[in-house]
């Protein structure tokens, strides 16, 4: 701890150039001190890998290293845009993401609205406790639960299908239903938890608005339509922007524990492809290019979405 | 008795909610009934997979193999738990996970808090740029491969620290804590300043004791994240001694319990892979089920404060 005490003195050296900055740093030197470990950490673990992206433009080889591997320009990106493998993976990613957005994005909003109408506080709190729980389970566990639930040999769902006179479905091996398994299990895990943001947003709405509406004789529907929904609209839009920014992250951690070679055709997404191709086959440069492609698109989507939101809704993420 | 008390509470609450207690129309009653039914169904759908798994883990081999087990165990036995709990691989990975969760949570909470505090001070010069520097890492990242190569260069592959070091400053959690700090009244700090206390003393003696709800929430988030992480371990860890529980479970599930039964000849005779999986999964869930109810009230409050403003 001692050497850092010299910090304010080091600051005084710059006094001639930036007098106020030096004074401020000296006055609050302990605040800056607290920041140093955090900054070092993100520099090392977040910004250094960003520098590592240069290997997307090189033919990287572990033995020659970062600096000495030859530059190859856009070679890996040309491969990316012509590779049938990648176009399949890209399609899967977008399809699975869109399915998840269309089906799972509105769900927590509806459920939060219903929960908000629940008058029995005890019941409401119990429901919240139960439906938040799956969020805290790992994908490994959730996958284990669903493999069991959907198993052909005595899984509850197939039992139900059989009892209705239908044939068993091999959910995890069937290319036509595997994506719905992904969407359903993601919904089971996250829908309850996702209501929390909207429930918080309700509490920000001025209760006087409802009082006034009641005096004017507005029905529950009218109140919902004219007070509640407009009240939470900014949050909905913000959540949507964030969600859209993640469109190329179709749920890598989920899919990695749930898929298998039989359903690669419909479920191999960018994240799983980078993992298998990059780490499994050590195709470092090409998969870094794939990762960069994903990162740039996501970044652009969030930034554009945010500036649109700021322009039209006077409210953004930052 | 308990029912009556519940009823009374309910009356108090509905009365307290003001206009809501006014006579409701038939339509509203119908909606309320539907609402109850919906949430009971949703609650059941959430719990069902667990009950099913519990039943399987407790049922006899024949019942599980023939696929007869539904929500209730058939031919009760507890041996699967016995076999799992004496398996050395399970115990090793359990130990790794506990160690990782405890160390990781403590360090991350510390690092994230000391980073959040200065950034919560609007008087901090350069605050905007510093914040941007942190937030940018949420929006853009080097990606899997460059990160992996970095860990390799740092010689962190196949060590325990690789599982918690990179995760120590979590920007999302940092922003939640920062927002909470910003919500505390300035006057608290000013009186301490007059007494000559420095920023660090103010943080420790005044700010932190007032921030327990948010700190508990974030501690829970970290603990759950470390306990649940299998991805980092799958990438960086090949040494079986260092595999955390979730990675062990993943391999158990992918091999359909085959690995376990190969190592436990005795179990192979008496157990089905399904029951072994079921009991292992449940055992790994227990710690979360134990901690969760106690912290739930904190995080509902804490997260609400942080997320709406953020």
**pLDDT score, position A8:** 46
**Domains detected in chain A:** 10-39 (no CATH), 89-312 (1.10.3720.10)
Length of chain A, please? 318
Task: Reply yes or no on whether the pLDDT at B155 is more than 60.
Answer: yes
Do B235 and A126 count as a contact with CB atoms less than 8 A apart? no
Is there a contact between B168 and A41 (Cβ–Cβ < 8 Å)?
yes
Picking from B235, B279, B234, the residue whose alpha carbon sits closest to that of residue A141 is: B279
**pLDDT score, position B29:** 84
Q: Can you tell me the mean pLDDT for B18-31?
A: 67
**pLDDT score, position B205:** 87
Measure the CA–CA gap between A95 and A265, rounded to whole angstroms. Answer: 12
**pLDDT score, position A252:** 92
Per the model's pLDDT, the better-predicted residue between B266 and B192 turns out to be: B192
A126 touches B at CB < 8 Å? yes
Measure the CA–CA gap between B75 and B64, rounded to whole angstroms. Answer: 10
The percent of residues in chain B predicted with pLDDT above 90, rounded, is: 37
**pLDDT score, position B222:** 92
Q: Which ipTM was obtained for this model?
A: 0.85
Per the model's pLDDT, the better-predicted residue between B221 and B164 turns out to be: B164
3-state SS, one letter per residue, for chain B: CHHHHHHHHHHHHHHHCHHHHCCCCHHHHHHHHHHHHHHHHHHHHHHHHHHHHHHHHHCCHHHHHCCCCCCCCCCCCCHHHHHHHCCHHHHHHHHHHHHHHHHHHHHHHHHHHHHHHHHCCCCCCCHHHHHHHHHHHHHCCCCHHHHHHHHHHCCCCCCCHHHCHHHCCCHHHHHHHHHHHHHCCHHHHHHHHHCCCCHHHHHHHHHHHHCHHHHHHHHHHHHHHHHHCCHHHHHHCCCHHHCCHHHHHHHHHHCCCHHHHHHCHHHHHHCCHHHHHHHHHHHHHHHHHHHHHHHHHHHHHHHHHHHHHC
With cut-offs at 50, 70 and 90, classify the pLDDT of residue B272. confident
Nearest to B141 among A49, A156, A257 (CB): A49
- DSSP per position, chain A: -TGGGGHHHHHHGGGGT-HHHHHHHHHTHHHHHHHHHHHHHHIIIIIHHHHHGGGGGBT--TTTHHHHSPB-TTHHHHHHHH-HHHHHHHHHHHHHHHHHHHHHTHHHHHHHHHHHT---HHHHHHHHHHHHGGGGS-HHHHHHHHHHHT-TTT-HHHHHHHHTTPPP--TTT-TTTHHHHHHHHHHHHHHHHHHHHHHHHHHTS-HHHHHHHHHTT--HHHHIIIIIHHHHHHHHHHHHHHHHHTTT---HHHHHHH--GGGHHHH--HHHHIIIIIIIS--HHHHHHHHHHHHHHHHHHHHHHHHHHHHHHS----
**pLDDT score, position B134:** 95
The C-alpha of B61 sits at a distance from chain A's nearest C-alpha, in angstroms, of: 13
Handedness of CA B90, B93, B99, B104 (dihedral sign): negative
Per the model's pLDDT, the better-predicted residue between B287 and B109 turns out to be: B109
Quote the tokens at residue A96.
Answer: 């699975």
With cut-offs at 50, 70 and 90, classify the pLDDT of residue A14. very low
Range scoring the smallest mean pLDDT among A44-53, A149-158, A176-185, A253-262: A149-158
Do A211 and B277 count as a contact with CB atoms less than 8 A apart? no
Q: Can you tell me the mean pLDDT for A175-179?
A: 93
Q: What is the pLDDT of residues A40-78, one digit of tens each?
A: 999 999 999 999 998 999 888 877 777 778 888 888 899
Q: What is the pLDDT of residues B42-88, one digit of tens each?
A: 999 999 998 988 888 888 877 777 777 778 888 888 888 888 888 88
Measure the CA–CA gap between A95 and B74, rounded to whole angstroms. Answer: 42
A47 touches B at CB < 8 Å? yes
Q: Which of left, alpha, beta for B155 (phi over 0: left; psi -120 to 50: alpha)? A: left
Task: Reply yes or no on whether the pLDDT at A294 is more than 50.
Answer: yes
With cut-offs at 50, 70 and 90, classify the pLDDT of residue B299. low
Task: Reply yes or no on whether the pLDDT at B7 is more than 50.
Answer: no
Task: Reply yes or no on whether the pLDDT at B257 is more than 80.
Answer: no
The C-alpha of B94 sits at a distance from chain A's nearest C-alpha, in angstroms, of: 15
A interface mutation test: which of B62, B145, B180, B301 has the most A CBs within 10 A?
B145
Handedness of CA B184, B189, B192, B198 (dihedral sign): positive
The percent of residues in chain B predicted with pLDDT above 70, rounded, is: 83
Task: Reply yes or no on whether the pLDDT at A214 is more than 70.
Answer: yes
**pLDDT score, position B11:** 37
Measure the CA–CA gap between B235 and A275, rounded to whole angstroms. Answer: 8
Task: Reply yes or no on whether the pLDDT at B26 is more than 90.
Answer: no
Do A122 and B288 count as a contact with CB atoms less than 8 A apart? no
Picking from B131, B58, B63, B112, the residue whose alpha carbon sits closest to that of residue B223 is: B112
The C-alpha of A90 sits at a distance from chain B's nearest C-alpha, in angstroms, of: 17
Is there a contact between B49 and A133 (Cβ–Cβ < 8 Å)?
no
Is there a contact between B125 and A32 (Cβ–Cβ < 8 Å)?
no
Range scoring the smallest mean pLDDT among A162-166, B11-15, B86-90, B188-192: B11-15
**pLDDT score, position B307:** 46
Quote the tokens at residue A32.
Answer: 């800056």
B interface mutation test: which of A46, A259, A283 has the most B CBs within 10 A?
A46
Nearest to B118 among A35, A126, A298 (CB): A35
């Amino acid at each position: 701890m001692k050497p850092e005490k010299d910090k304010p003195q080091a600051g005084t050296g710059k006094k001639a150039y930036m007098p106020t900055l030096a004074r401020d740093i000296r006055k609050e030197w302990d605040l800056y001190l607290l920041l140093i470990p955090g900054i070092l950490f993100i520099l090392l673990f977040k910004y250094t890998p960003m520098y590592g992206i240069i290997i997307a433009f090189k033919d990287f080889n572990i033995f020659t290293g970062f600096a000495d591997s030859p530059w190859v320009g856009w070679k890996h990106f040309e491969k990316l845009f012509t590779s049938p493998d990648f176009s399949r993976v890209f399609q899967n990613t977008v399809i699975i993401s869109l399915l998840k957005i269309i089906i799972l994005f509105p769900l927590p909003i509806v459920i939060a609205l219903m929960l908000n109408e629940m008058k029995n506080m005890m019941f409401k709190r119990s429901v919240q406790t139960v439906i938040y729980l799956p969020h805290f389970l790992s994908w490994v566990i959730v996958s284990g639960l669903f493999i069991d639930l959907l198993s052909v040999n005595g899984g509850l769902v197939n039992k139900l299908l059989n009892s209705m006179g239908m044939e068993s479905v091999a959910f995890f091996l069937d290319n036509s239903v595997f994506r719905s398994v992904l969407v359903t299990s993601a919904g089971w895990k996250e829908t309850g938890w996702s209501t929390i943001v909207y429930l918080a947003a309700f509490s920000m709405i001025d209760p006087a608005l409802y009082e006034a509406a009641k005096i004017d004789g507005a029905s529950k529907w009218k109140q919902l339509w004219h007070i509640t929904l407009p009240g939470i609209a900014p949050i909905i839009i913000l959540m949507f922007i964030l969600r859209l920014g993640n469109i190329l992250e179709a749920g890598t951690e989920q899919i990695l524990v749930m898929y298998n070679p039989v359903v690669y055709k419909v479920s191999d997404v960018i994240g799983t492809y980078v993992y298998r191709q990059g780490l499994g086959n050590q195709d470092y440069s090409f998969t870094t290019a794939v990762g960069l492609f994903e990162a740039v698109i996501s970044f652009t989507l969030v930034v554009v979405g945010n500036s649109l939101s700021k322009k039209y809704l006077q409210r953004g993420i930052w | 008795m308990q029912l009556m008390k519940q009823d009374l509470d309910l009356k108090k609450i509905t009365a307290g909610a003001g206009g809501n207690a006014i006579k409701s129309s038939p339509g509203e009653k119908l909606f309320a009934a539907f609402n109850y039914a919906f949430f009971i169904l949703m609650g059941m759908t959430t719990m069902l997979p667990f009950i099913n798994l519990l039943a399987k883990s407790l049922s006899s081999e024949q019942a599980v193999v023939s696929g007869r087990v539904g929500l209730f165990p058939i031919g009760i036995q507890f041996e699967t738990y016995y076999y799992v709990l004496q398996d050395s691989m399970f115990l090793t990975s359990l130990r790794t996970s506990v160690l990782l969760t405890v160390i990781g949570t403590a360090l991350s909470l510390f690092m994230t808090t000391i980073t959040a505090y200065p950034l919560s001070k609007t008087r901090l010069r350069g605050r905007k740029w510093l914040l941007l520097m942190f937030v940018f890492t949420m929006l853009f990242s080097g990606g899997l491969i460059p990160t992996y190569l970095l860990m390799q260069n740092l010689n962190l592959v196949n060590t325990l620290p690789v599982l918690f070091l990179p995760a120590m400053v979590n920007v999302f959690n940092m922003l939640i804590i920062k927002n909470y700090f910003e919500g505390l009244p300035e006057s608290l700090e000013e009186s301490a300043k007059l007494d000559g206390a420095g920023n660090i003393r103010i943080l420790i003696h005044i700010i932190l004791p007032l921030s327990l709800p948010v700190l508990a929430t974030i501690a829970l988030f970290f603990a759950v994240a470390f306990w649940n992480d299998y991805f980092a371990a799958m990438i960086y860890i090949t040494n079986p001694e260092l595999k955390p529980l979730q990675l062990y479970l993943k391999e158990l599930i992918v091999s359909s319990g085959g690995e376990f039964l190969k190592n436990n000849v005795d179990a192979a005779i008496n157990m089905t892979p399904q029951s072994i999986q079921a009991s292992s999964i449940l055992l790994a869930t227990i710690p979360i089920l134990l901690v969760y109810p106690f912290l739930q009230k904190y995080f509902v409050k804490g997260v609400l404060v942080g997320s709406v403003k953020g």
